[in-house]
Structure 1
Amino acid sequence: MKISTLLLSCILSATAAFGQTPCQTGRYASDVYSTVNVTSDIQYGSNISFSGSTTSLTMDFYEPAADTSVARPLIIWVHGGSFQGGTKTDVDVQELSNRFAKKGFACASINYRLGFFPLDSVNAIKAVLRATQDLKATIRFFYKDRATTNAYKIDTTRIFIGGSSAGAITALHVAYLDQACEIQDYIGSTDLNTLGGIEGASGNPGYSTKVAGVINLCGALGRYSWLEAGDIPLVSLHGTADATVKYNRGTVTPFGVAIMYLDGSRMLIERSCALNHPHKLYTFRGAPHVPYAGGGATQIAYMDTTVNFVRDFLVERLGCTNMALQPENVPSQTANLYPINYCNGSPVNEVCILGLAENTAANEMILYPNPASSQVTIQCDSEGAKTISVIDISGRTVMSQEMNENGYTLSVRDLNKGTYFVHVLDHGNQKALVKQLVIQ
């Protein structure tokens, strides 16, 4: 009898360690703990800030009080603040950490390197890279802990990363920006190497940065194409009236300054559907940026929806079968996937950019020669004032001219080789004409 009892005890302990029994007892799906313990200012690494000073990188760790589990799933939360401000104690990340710790998750809320100047796309990219390097150092910290002292009792096969606004942008880029060549249009190899490359040197080298899923709250990705088949699952919540990080595709505008184009949650779900990639999106119709942040009744209602929708995603990823609390709704707006160039040289086959499909009839606008090398003639079938814009595949307008006749020759010899779109806004007919142009 003693042998049988001991064997049963071992089996039950092993089952609990792999998270099967907790699902059955309500852990992860409901508030099974009433009290949360917080350990503040744990240093997980250090690195050089944008101003050149050495910065200590710290986090706060949230765990259920009196928790006896030895292999807990972990959520690492990254605060927002346009990469210029914010802290690990921001109200929304504190609320998220406390709520999920009560469900039996361990949570970490991190500080990361902030600041960039001047406010332009190149320096913004550097700020995003610094943040991603710091988040990766946090992930490695928990892998290192598991392999050594195991002080935090984390199951490293069940680490999730997420955040709000800039924090969500950081998490998305950690998850899906995995090749240096993907950002070569934004930052050169010399600057990238100076920053420490994609992985960075913020701490805990030699350990894994693999995670099980991403939580995107009002965030965006530099290019939707960085999300590829076989990538880790994603859950997103985003407001359609977000004026800071657009729900669809558009310029991100921290402090009212247009920095660069990003692909919001609507573009990412479109990409996921095309790839059969696991991704759930909840659309806050008519809601602004981070509508769940704050303590008012409206904000609390948005926070409840956010927690329930993320909870549904997490319990599913953990293999639980609990009923969903917040069903997925239908996305708003139309997402147009623009042309993309892959690092491996795969052919470009999408034909939409900036929400405008290449839908111009042959007799409305003609480009010749196309492909072009030094100049291209643009001919339209209508008279009157028009604005010609040449747009690259990242959404940047690289050239703009006024055109008053129905024909115009444009010099393109200073443009890099590649795929562009010629966009003609016909002021008289209130119509936009778009044609693809290849420069070789």
Structure 2
Amino acid sequence: MVFVMACMVPWLAQSQCFPKQYIDPLYGVSQNAAIQYGAADPYDILGLSINQNLFLDLYTPVGDTLSHRPTIVFAFGGGFIIGSRNQPDLPRLRDYYVPRGYNLATIDYRLGFNVTSGGSALRAVYRGVQDMRAALRFLAENCDQYAIDTNHIVLMGSSAGSFIGLHHAYMDENERPAETYGIPGENQDLGCADCSGNNSYNNQYIRPMAVINRWGAMGDTNWIEPTLRDSIPLISFHGTNDNVVPFGTEYPFSIPLFPPVYGSSVIHQRLENLGVHNQFIPLQGAGHEPELLQPRWDDTIFKYTTPFLYDMLKPDAPEITGTATACQGDTVEYPISYDLSTELCVEVSEGILLSQDSNSIQIRWSDTASTGEIILAARNDLLAYDSTVLSVSLGPLPQGGGITYTSEDGLFLFFSNIQDSISHSAWNFGDNDSCGCINPAHQYQDTGRYEVNLTLTNDYCSIQYDSIIVSNLCPVASFNATTADSSLFIQNQSQFADQWIWSYGDGSIDSTQVPLHTYQDEGDYLVQIIASNDFCNDTISQWITIDFCPITDFTASINELEVTLQNTSLYADVLFWSPGFGDEVFGSETLDLTFPDTGIYTVQLIAYNSQGCSDTMQQNLQLAITTDLSHSITTEGRAVLLDQQRVLIQENAPAIWVSIDGKKVGSKLEDFYQLSPGIYLLIQKINGTSINTQRVVKF
């Protein structure tokens, strides 16, 4: 089981690695008073063109080493009529936040409005927003001088000061009230929200990290839009009996003369609907600005704002994975992950940190403790940290007596002195077989050395016992042999052998596992294998027949149309002749054939041996009849006239007509009349021994 606990707030994990910046008071306080950040035209019922200088006081932690630190910018309360940057509860705010590492800037803003005019009240709020933005621009432009971290600015206000902070955060320029362009009696256009007081930081808007709203309100919660700009985290405090600034929706001071405003509960609901991170703490039974008479309400604010802000300053918590149990005295490696830009600290209780790198830590646990704990703390460049705790239950090792066994012909009976504390036992027999049994019997299928493992597990950890065993099965010799031509192919089917000696019956031997052998002569051979291992051997023999594949060859003797074919093939047992005419196939060693005509014939011979191996040979024979009259014999015969030519015909002797180029053009005497004009030979074979040849002209 994997057990990892990340603290919701850092002080729940009592890490001793780092000082608790932003949580515990660590520093002294220094004041830089009356820093002028701007000047702007104040509310003037007479319309005089004068400027009011605007100042801030900056409180910084003495002894803090950060060059740029988170800064809280505070705007006092007083209904936009009274108040100053030295508001009565300022010392409590200063003495809480600054020693914990924050800068605290308290600002002036312009006061005054026509209390009989709702529009004049709206203009007063807008002037306050302009002055807050001017102060923020000044601090951003001079961030190096005053150690301001512009990415971590928090706005805090009291009453009217929270009106200013809320509208700075959530009101855009295009949501500016129409009254700010001028009203009867106050005709001056107040200008854009970022255009007053100074031109610092190129008049850019400074987006705060968060807002702390103390009993403030907004003119319209629809100004909080579902945009990244408006998704600013907010923590709100508001008395449920506040009759000055409404807890819900009401007129300020309950006077309808002023425009209605939306208090903290309504703002909270708007942010919840938009999914913006926020927290709302109703102060039950409290009225307006309750901390002025009851300082305990400041303690409530400190209690909730400390973790709220810290969650935005701290890095992501480091992660540690691993089992939540371990054996006493065991050494365990735990994978870890964290932001490598942070500084990591590891604390171990009831154990020793043996090694640490960016991916894992190695812990040796106590021999006697029942629980241990690992705390990982990661600190970023703001000196904020977060931590993760892994609690580990420690217990004794599983008790077992190792591995013993008996064996016979590869069958092993295993034993172990397993105690009652064992929750699981697992055997691995080293041959890809295993079981979760206690005293198993295992049959090995091969000879050789095997590493046997027994893993015993209890509720805390595991222990492994190892043993090397030897399986001494005798070999079983076996093989399958096939032949092709002069080659012998062997499939070795022997079992439990690691050595093989082959004898092929022709005086040759071999020791390969899967051999291939070539014979030089045909015949019957006794093939033998001796299969052995370190313990014994086995032998088996098999007769095989080597029958070479034929090598086909033949000769042809040609006498005009008379041909003699003679087989001269080697290793042939069966012959198939195809003479190139007709469909008949012949199988004798010698063939005497009379071909039907002159021309080219393809004679084919296929030779087979007794194993079905074959070879084929083809030869083209060109047959022609001689037209050389010097070898002809003319005998007496019956005289006939062919185209007025006297021709002697031998009775009962076949006659053929041949053109002067030796081509047969007729097979009987009467074919003469079908011949084209030209010179032909009339050939008759007499008694199979002599030839009667006569020249005849066809006209």
* TM-score range relative to shorter protein: 0.5 to 0.7
Alignment of 1:77 with 2:74, yes or no, is yes
Partner residue of 1:309?
304
Amino acid at match of 1:105: Y
- 2:502 alignment counterpart: none
Alignment partner, residue 280 of structure 1 = 279
Following superposition, the deviation at residue 257 of structure 1 comes to: 7.7
**Structure showing greater relative contact order (alpha-carbon pairs closer than 8 Å, 6 or more residues apart):** 1
C-alpha separation in 2, matches of 1:270 and 1:23: 40
1:223 Cα deviation from its structure 2 partner: 0.6
Query: Where in structure 2 are the equivalents of 1:72-111 lying within 5 Å?
Result: 72-111=69-108
Change (3 A) 1:22 1:139: farther
State the one-letter code of the partner of 2:250. Answer: G
Partner of 1:318: 313
Q: Which of 28, 32, 39 lines up with 1:39 in the alignment? A: 32
Assess if the C-alpha contact under 8 Å between 1:182 and 1:226 holds in 2: no
Change (3 A) 1:218 1:22: farther
Aligned equivalent of 1:122: 119
CA-to-aligned-CA distance 1:134-189 (integer Å, 9 cap, x gap)? 0001110111012xxx11111110011110000000000000111334523x5447
- The answer to whether the 8 A contact 1:43-1:56 is kept is yes
Task: Report how many aligned residue pairs link the two structures.
Answer: 293
Q: Check conservation: 1:144, 1:207, Cα contact below 8 A.
A: no
Relative to structure 1, the CA distance from residue 23 to residue 280 in structure 2 (aligned partners, 3 Å threshold; closer, same or farther) is: farther
Determine what percentage of the aligned residue pairs are the same residue. Answer: 31
Q: Equivalent of 1:201, from 192, 196, 200?
A: 196
Cα-to-partner distance string for 1:383-440 (whole Å, 9 max, x where unaligned)? xxxxxxxxxxxxxxxxxxxxxxxxxxxxxxxxxxxxxxxxxxxxxxxxxxxxxxxxxx
Give the match for residue 412 of structure 1.
none
SS in structure 1 of the partner of residue 96 of structure 2: helix
Match of 2:244 in 1: 244
The corresponding residue for 1:269 is: 268
Structure 1: which amino acid aligns with 2:41? I
Question: SS in structure 1 opposite 2:295?
Answer: helix
Structure 1 counterpart of 2:102, which letter?
F
Gap regions ≥5 residues in structure 1 = 1-20, 324-440
Q: What amino acid is the match of 1:180?
A: N
Query: 1:234 is matched with which residue?
Result: 234
Distance 1:228 1:22 in 2: 43
Q: For 2:168, which of 166, 174, 192 is the aligned residue? A: 174
| Bigger helix fraction | 1
For residues 242 and 300 of structure 1, what CA distance do their matches in structure 2 show?
17
Counterpart residue type for residue 279 of structure 2: K
Tell me if the contact between 1:77 and 1:93 (Cα under 8 Å) persists in the aligned partners.
Answer: no
TM-score normalised to structure 1 length: 0.63
1:190-223 C-alpha deviation (Å, 9 max, x unpaired): 9897212222311133153221111100000111
Instruction: Say if 1:36 and 1:101, in contact at 8 Å, map to a contact too.
Output: yes
Q: Unaligned regions of 5+ residues in structure 2, if any? A: 1-14, 318-384, 387-699
Matches within 5 A, 1:22-421: 24-33=18-27, 35-51=28-44, 52=48, 53-146=50-143, 150-184=144-178, 186-188=179-181, 194-205=189-200, 206-208=202-204, 209-229=206-226, 230=228, 231=230, 232-253=232-253, 258-294=257-293, 299-319=294-314
Rounded Cα–Cα distance in structure 1 between residues aligned with 2:259 and 2:114: 14
Q: Aligned Cα RMSD in Å?
A: 2.4
Work out which of the two has the higher radius of gyration on C-alpha atoms and give 1 or 2: 2
Q: Any runs of at least 4 consecutive aligned residues in structure 1 with deviations exceeding 4 A, and if so which? A: 21-24, 186-193, 320-323
TM-score (norm 2): 0.40
- For 1:274 and 1:111, the matched residues in 2 are separated by 34
Kindly state the Cα deviation for residue 66 of structure 1 after the two structures are TM-superposed. Answer: 2.4
Distance 1:203 1:102 in 2: 31
SS of corresponding position for 2:292:
coil
Q: Which stretch shifts more, 228-237 or 125-134?
A: 228-237
**CA distance 1:246–1:319, change in 2 (3 Å):** same
**Contact kept? 2:181, 2:190, Cα under 8 Å:** no
Q: Structure 1 residues 105, 211: closer, same or farther in 2, change over 3 A?
A: same
**Matched residue type, 1:50:** Y
Where is the strand percentage greater, Structure 1 or Structure 2? 2
**1:99-130 deviations in Å (ceiling 9; x for gaps):** 10011000100111111124321000110111
In 2: Cα distance, 1:22 partner to 1:99 partner: 22
Alpha-carbon spacing, 1:171–1:269, altered in 2? closer, same or farther (3 Å):
same
